[in-house]
Amino acid sequence: MPTPITLLSTIKGSLLERFYPAGWDLARMDACAAMARDELLAPANFWHAGFAPVVVDDVAAMDERMGDAIADEIEAARRNNLPLALILPVGPMGMYKRVVARLTASRTPCDHVTTFNMDEWSDAAGTSMPGNQPGGFEHAMTHAMFGPLGDLAVPPGQRNFATRDNLPTYAGKIAGLKARGGRLVTVYGVGRVCHIAFWEPHLAAEFPVLADWKRQTHKVGVALQPLTVEQNAITSFASRFTLVPCFANTIGPGLFLQSDACIGGADGAYPAHGAQWQGMSIAATLKYGPDPWVPSTFMPTLPGRLFVVKELVGPLVPAAH
C-alpha cells in the first residue's frame, strides 16, 4: 500500500517544517487525535483523581455549566466567609452571562472576590492594549461581567488586569489571599497551539529544566505563535488578522499550577458547517501527557472539569467542505 500523502509524510523541506513548535512530536499528537471517543475520554494515569472531561451537547450547554461552576465557587466562598481568587479568561466568554444571572438571582455581592485576568494583548515591550479598546480583555470583562453585575460586582480595586506593571504583582496578591484561607480557581480555554492563557509552547525552550518552567509566574511581551494569531483573527477579530497584536502579557505555570480547582471550556466547533478548530488541541490536552511544549497537557494533572462540546471529542475524521 502506498504511503498516504499527509503533512507527516511531506513536512520535511516544506515551509511548515519550522512553523510548528520545535518540541512537538507531531506523530504522537496525531495518534491522540486518531483515538476513538471512549479511548480519548478514559482516564489516563497522569490525570488527577479529581479531573474529568465533561462532554456537552452545544456551546449554550457549555456556557451554562461553566457559568454555574464559577457561580458555585463565588457563592460557596461567600457562605464560608473566605476570600476567593479567580484567574479569568477572555475566551471562552459565554459563561459570564450565566454568572451574572446566578449572582443577580441570589443577590450575592462579590466584594470577597479578587479577579486576575490571565492575559492581555501587548507590544513587544509589554505595553498593553488600552482598557477601553474593543478587542482588549479589560474592555471585554467590563462589558461581559463587571458592568452587568452592577452593585454586586467585584470592586474595581480587586480587578487585576495583565498590564506590564500589574502582572508581576499577581503572585504576591494570590499568595496573600491563600494565606487568609482563600481558594485559587483558574478558568481557562485551550488554544489552538495548546497554550493556557498566552503561555505559548515555544517558551519551553527558554526554560529547559521542568522545575524552572513550572516556577514562572508570568511573562510580559510574549511573541505569539502564528496559529495563535490566526485563531484569534477567526474567533475575535472578524477575520481581520491585521488587527491582532503579535505579542501579549500572560500568567505562567507558576500561577495556574497552584490552582485548587480549574474550570475549563472548549467550544471551537461550527457544526452547521461541519467545521472546527479545537478537536486536535483537546485530544492532545487529554492524552499527550504532561509536556512543557504542550502547556495544556498539565491541566488534567489538576482537579477540575473541562467542558467540551461533543464535536471536539471525535472521531476526528477529515471531510471536504
Region 19-35: mean pLDDT is: 96
By C-alpha distance, which of 268, 234, 252 is closest to 118?
252
Confidence class of residue 148 from pLDDT cuts 50, 70 and 90?
very high
17 belongs to a structural domain? no
Backbone φ and ψ of 99, nearest 5°: -60, -45
320, part of any domain: no
Phi, psi (deg, nearest 5) at residue 88 = -120, 145
Distance CA 29, CA 24 (A): 8
- Indicate if the pLDDT at residue 134 is higher than 90: no
For the segment 172-192, the average pLDDT, to the nearest whole number, is 98
pLDDT for res 133: 77
Q: Is residue 22 a part of any domain in this protein?
A: no
Residue 272 lies in a domain: yes
The CA-CA-CA angle for residues 91, 146, 114, to 5°, reads 85
Task: Give the pLDDT confidence score for residue 236 in this predicted structure.
Answer: 87
Domain hosting residue 76, numbered range: 47-313
**CATH, residue 150:** 3.40.50.1360
Q: How many domains does the chain have?
A: 1
pLDDT, one tens digit per residue, over 64-77 is 999 999 999 999 99
For residue 171, give the H/E element and its range.
Answer: helix 170-179
Instruction: Give, in order, the Cα–Cα distances in Å from 140 to each of 52, 90, 136, 144, 161.
Output: 29, 7, 6, 6, 11
pLDDT recorded at residue 81: 97
**According to the model, what pLDDT value does residue 63 have?**
97
Q: What is the mean pLDDT of the chain?
A: 95
Nearest residue to 124 via CA among 219, 230, 254, 229: 219
Would residue 180 count as lying in a domain? yes
Confidence of residue 2 (pLDDT cuts 50, 70, 90): low
Q: Is 2 within the bounds of a domain?
A: no
What 3-state DSSP class applies to 187? Answer: strand
Instruction: Say yes or no to pLDDT of 13 above 90.
Output: yes
* 234 in a structural domain: yes
Q: Does the structure show a pLDDT above 80 at 98? A: yes
> Does position 91 have pLDDT exceeding 90, yes or no?
no
Q: Give pLDDT, residue 1.
A: 62
In a domain, 54, yes or no: yes
Angstrom distance (rounded) from CA 124 to CA 101: 38
Q: Which of 17-26, 236-245, 294-303 bottoms out in mean pLDDT, i.e. has the lowest?
A: 236-245
Of residues 169, 147, 150, 172, the one with CA closest to residue 160: 169
C-alpha span between 250 and 117 (Å, rounded): 9
